[in-house]
Amino acid sequence: MEAKMIRRLVVKVGTSSLVMKNGRINLPSIDRLAYSLSALNNAGYQVVLVSSGAMGAGLASLNKTQRPAAIAEQQALASLGQVELMRIYSQRFLDYQTRIAQLLLTRDNLEYPLNRTNVLNTIEALLQQKIVPIINENDPVSVDELDHHTTFSDNDELSALVATRIGADLLIVLSDIDGLFDKDPHKNADAKLIENVAELTPAIRLSATGSSTRFGTGGMVTKLKAAETILNADRQMVLCNGQDPRVILKVVNGQPIGTHFGRHSIKPLATDKEEF
């Protein structure tokens, strides 16, 4: 397997990595995430973060654990939570002397040519200034209406689209699972981790299951869709457990973590430097 140099990467963090089981914000996890991405940024990597968690942050700020059923209430909660989430991100990244910026996207922003050009130009300008863009779906305004299919299936899809549109070398998806297994590890003690996937076979697709958390919206199905997008673009993706986001540094250094999707292996930006 030929090694390809990694310079530009997208990291997708799920709600399970940002919100604890009791519904409170996982501040240590966010701090480790900010540390890891700042370390990469300082080392010369170009980093984009696609972050879930707005709904979870909104629930936490209101001391609630159950998301409302009404769409309008969900969107209002996401609007509240997005502000809280960015406040925490801003504090933690500043601790590591890293600047961040926020982009809230709908599908139109990546599908319509003029909108897409503007978004990509903004991301490019931020990366050239060593600013870390933090991207999330614009939940308060995303609707499916008339000719506008504005929503993403979830942030797994969004992260894959962003990664391919900006020409990222690697997508790292942090989840609540260690990687892709041959069967559901929550139900089968003998489930085995699939370490490398160069092609999505029918057997691999059948192993996918739905979301395992009450805060998140995705599951293995959406992660495999993201992997398919990445594989079709001949890029690389790693799916791994995000309980400790410092795992990002191990992945970028080429250590075998989680499940690797792609036809190439990961080569760090500068092999003559000490590892993180």
**pLDDT per residue as tens digits for the range 171-220:** 999 998 899 998 878 788 898 999 999 999 888 887 776 545 544 445 78
218 assigned binding-site residue: yes
Per the domain annotation, does 275 fall within a domain?
A: no
Per the domain annotation, does 274 fall within a domain?
A: no
**pLDDT per residue as tens digits for the range 119-141:** 999 999 999 999 999 999 876 56
220 assigned binding-site residue: yes
User: Which pLDDT score, from 0 to 100, does residue 214 have?
Assistant: 46
Distance CA 252, CA 269 (A): 9
User: Which pLDDT score, from 0 to 100, does residue 205 have?
Assistant: 82
Domain harbouring 247, CATH code = 3.40.1160.10
221 assigned binding-site residue: yes
Of 28-32, 35-39, 148-152, 258-262, which gets the smallest average pLDDT?
148-152
52 assigned binding-site residue: yes
Per the domain annotation, does 152 fall within a domain?
A: yes
Residue 241: pLDDT over 80:
yes
216 assigned binding-site residue: no
User: Which pLDDT score, from 0 to 100, does residue 88 have?
Assistant: 96
5 assigned binding-site residue: no
51 assigned binding-site residue: no
DSSP string, 77-118: HHHHHHHHHHHHHHHHHHHTT--EEEEEE-HHHHHSHHHHHH
Angle at 210 between CA 62 and CA 111, to 5 degrees: 80
Residue 65: pLDDT over 90:
no
179 assigned binding-site residue: no
For 5, 91, 99, 104, the CA distances from 133, given in Å and listed in that order, are 22, 15, 9, 10
Per the domain annotation, does 276 fall within a domain?
A: no
- Give residue 25's domain range: 3-267
Domains identified in the chain, total number: 1
The overall longest dimension of the chain from CA atoms, in Å, is 54
Per the domain annotation, does 77 fall within a domain?
A: yes
Extract the tokens encoding 170: 């690697």
Per the domain annotation, does 219 fall within a domain?
A: yes
219 assigned binding-site residue: yes
169 assigned binding-site residue: no
217 assigned binding-site residue: yes
